[in-house]
Amino acid sequence: MDHYQELEKIFTRIKRLDNAISILHWDSAVNLAENSIDSRSNQISEIKTIIYEIYSSPKILDLFDKTQENQLNQFQLANFNLMKKWHLDATIIDNDLSNALIKATAKSEMVWRKAREENNFKDFVPYLEEVVNLTREKGLIKSQKLNCTLYEALADEFEPGFKEDKTDLIFAKLKDFLAGFLPEVIQHQQKYPISELPLVNISQEKQFILAKKLMNLLGFDFTKGRIDLSAHPFCGGFSGDCRITTSFDEKNFISGLMGVLHETGHALYEQNLPKDWLEQPLGSYVGMQIHESQSLIIEMQMARTKEFLSYLIPEINETFDYSPRELNADNLYRIINRVNPSFIRIDADEVTYPLHIMMRYNLEKKLLNRQISVSDLAESFREEMYSNLGIRPNNHQEGCLQDIHWPSGFFGYFPSYSLGAMSATQFYQAFKKDAPKGNFSQIMTWLKDNIHSKGSLYSSNDLIKEVTGEELNTEIYQNYLRKKFIDDYR
């Protein structure tokens, strides 16, 4: 076995262990009994430690040295470079700091759940401080070794190659645009009143039936995947065993439906990753920006359109035995695309959503750079929200305690959502250029061929350029928002 092949064998082991962890995580959210949580953490942290030990063995460095790059083909070379990147990420901070962070975030997540429930920010402060301090420590070490900013060092874990100055620029343009656009949209939309859908209870069973039908339509492969219930929807598992979850509100079937479409977008990306490389770094998704773009291309670009709603409504009529006259494409379009500044990020419309992201981006940079302290966070959050959205949260649940990202130590994650939304728009328009009358199955094939099946062959930026012919372009996004929320909103 040559050196490169030996490396492939090692990374196969790592991927299989990662896959096992993914299933255990999914099980924790879907099945785990409350007093089994500790033993589950033990299993996962034991497997993570084994992965760390594999990365830390001198053997892997020796194999990197001895591999002759000129004997590798294009894919092997890309895979080899990713191996080195994964290795660097896994070993860049030592096991002590890494374990300290695992412990601190586990604790802080736990305290956060209670703090959010009780609207108690003060008691949560010391736990978040610990997380911020350790994350900062990690970021400083990484930024030195990667020769980048502190924020970039942290964001790199979610979005490899993340650039702070570029993102600052994109967000500045977008913010500028939204400053005028948001009031314009609100004023425009007031001219088109909504007829509320008559309230009915739609059972979970019925919502499951429609969800599965749509998943099938979009090409979700149920022979290697599932859908289940969990408190918060997510896409778990891995390519070969992809498990999305959802929660259904019996009084509001729209939210569950959109959630399923969103997670199905994530799942299709996973299920269509390059088959021959699934057990190697090359067979992984590029980063969270592209992952989010794949959920949003389904939920936002494809589903929240009149064309899709015209297909969907008869399905709703039939499956739910629910056909009020208010349920027509124009009215439903107005309902699901209504713009209105609100407190909770995950419930925000597409126009105000980037403002939620940008304020978090600013705040987390300030926290990490010590321009604000954790104890200032609640107040700073209120003020940022007011300056971005014109509203002030009434409590911490509507404010700085609403997201799990910071308690979990996910600093640098938020931008992926909005960069993903922009990427989704650009991808969809590229598809429309290729196939102006493209149907469901055509878009799915197009996404598979152009994005999913590439795995991590290209960086996010290169992939966007390759597929759309240009870099991320705020104007495309701005035009999309204008068309969807003003021109088509009638």
Q: In the complex with its own copies, which residue's Cβ is closer, 30 or 335?
A: 30
Answer whether 343's CB lies under 8 Å from 194's CB: no
Q: How far apart are CA 428 and CA 305, in angstroms?
A: 13
Stretch that binds its own copies, among 88-96, 219-227, 337-345, 372-380 (CB under 8 A): 219-227
230-289 binders of its own copies (CB under 8 A): 238, 240-241, 279
Q: In the complex with its own copies, which residue's Cβ is closer, 86 or 311?
A: 86
304-343 binders of its own copies (CB under 8 A): none
Contact status: 203 vs its own copies (CB under 8 A): no
Answer whether 121's CB lies under 8 Å from 373's CB: no
368-407 binders of its own copies (CB under 8 A): none
- Cα separation of the two ends of the chain: 65
Sorted by sequence, the CB contacts under 8 Å of residue 221 that are 6+ apart come out as 242, 271
Q: What is the CA radius of gyration of the chain?
A: 23
Stretch that binds its own copies, among 184-192, 215-223, 392-400, 430-438 (CB under 8 A): 215-223
Q: In the complex with its own copies, which residue's Cβ is closer, 159 or 279?
A: 279
Q: In the complex with its own copies, which residue's Cβ is closer, 212 or 334?
A: 212
Q: How far apart are CA 252 and CA 317, in angstroms?
A: 15
Among 2, 5, 50, 176, binds its own copies (CB under 8 A): 50
Sorted by sequence, the CB contacts under 8 Å of residue 363 that are 6+ apart come out as 372, 377, 380, 381, 384
Among 2, 5, 42, 435, binds its own copies (CB under 8 A): 42
Q: In the complex with its own copies, which residue's Cβ is closer, 242 or 419?
A: 242
Q: In the complex with its own copies, which residue's Cβ is closer, 238 or 361?
A: 238
Contact status: 35 vs its own copies (CB under 8 A): yes
Contact status: 409 vs its own copies (CB under 8 A): no
Stretch that binds its own copies, among 45-53, 166-174, 285-293, 327-335 (CB under 8 A): 45-53
Answer whether 245's CB lies under 8 Å from 263's CB: yes
Contact status: 222 vs its own copies (CB under 8 A): yes
Q: How many residues can be counted in the chain? A: 490
3-state SS class at 240: coil
How many residues line the site for its own copies (CB under 8 A)? 32
Contact status: 224 vs its own copies (CB under 8 A): yes
> To the nearest whole angstrom, how small is the minimum distance from the Cβ of residue 165 to its own copies?
41
Among 16, 59, 114, 213, binds its own copies (CB under 8 A): 16
Long-range contact set of residues 164-167: C-beta below 8 Å, sequence gap at least 24: 167/361, 167/415, 167/419
Answer whether 377's CB lies under 8 Å from 128's CB: yes
Hunting for tokens 């969103």 — which residue is that? 262
Stretch that binds its own copies, among 29-37, 327-335, 363-371, 429-437 (CB under 8 A): 29-37
Helix 204-218 / helix 306-320 crossing angle, nearest 10 deg: 140
Contact status: 36 vs its own copies (CB under 8 A): yes
Element (H, E) at 187: helix 164-190
Q: In the complex with its own copies, which residue's Cβ is closer, 19 or 247?
A: 19
Contact status: 29 vs its own copies (CB under 8 A): no
Strand order across the beta sheet in which 235-238 lies: 225-229, 241-246, 235-238
Q: How far apart are CA 171 and CA 405, in angstroms?
A: 20
Among 139, 225, 274, 283, binds its own copies (CB under 8 A): 225
Contact status: 6 vs its own copies (CB under 8 A): no
Tell me how crowded residue 345 is: count the other CB atoms within 10 A of its CB.
18
The encoded tokens of residue 162 equal: 């993340």
Among 6, 25, 29, 47, binds its own copies (CB under 8 A): 47
- Residue 161's region, left for phi above 0, alpha for psi from -120 to 50, else beta, is left
Tell me how crowded residue 194 is: count the other CB atoms within 10 A of its CB.
12
Q: How far apart are CA 239 and CA 243, in angstroms?
A: 9
Contact status: 46 vs its own copies (CB under 8 A): yes
> To the nearest whole angstrom, how small is the minimum distance from the Cβ of residue 240 to its own copies?
4
Q: In the complex with its own copies, which residue's Cβ is closer, 85 or 224?
A: 224
Q: Which of 441, 256, 85 is nearest to 244 (CA)?
A: 256
Contact status: 110 vs its own copies (CB under 8 A): no
Contact status: 226 vs its own copies (CB under 8 A): yes
Sorted by sequence, the CB contacts under 8 Å of residue 79 that are 6+ apart come out as 8, 277, 280, 281, 282
> To the nearest whole angstrom, how small is the minimum distance from the Cβ of residue 61 to its own copies?
20
- Beta bridge pairs of residue 242: 225, 237
Stretch that binds its own copies, among 69-77, 224-232, 334-342, 417-425 (CB under 8 A): 224-232
Stretch that binds its own copies, among 183-191, 222-230, 251-259, 403-411 (CB under 8 A): 222-230
Element (H, E) at 195: none
55-74 binders of its own copies (CB under 8 A): none
Among 27, 129, 383, 466, binds its own copies (CB under 8 A): 27
> To the nearest whole angstrom, how small is the minimum distance from the Cβ of residue 464 to its own copies?
30
Chain residues that interact with its own copies, rule: CB under 8 A: 13, 16-17, 19-20, 23-24, 27, 31-36, 38-40, 42-43, 46-47, 50, 221-226, 238, 240-241, 279
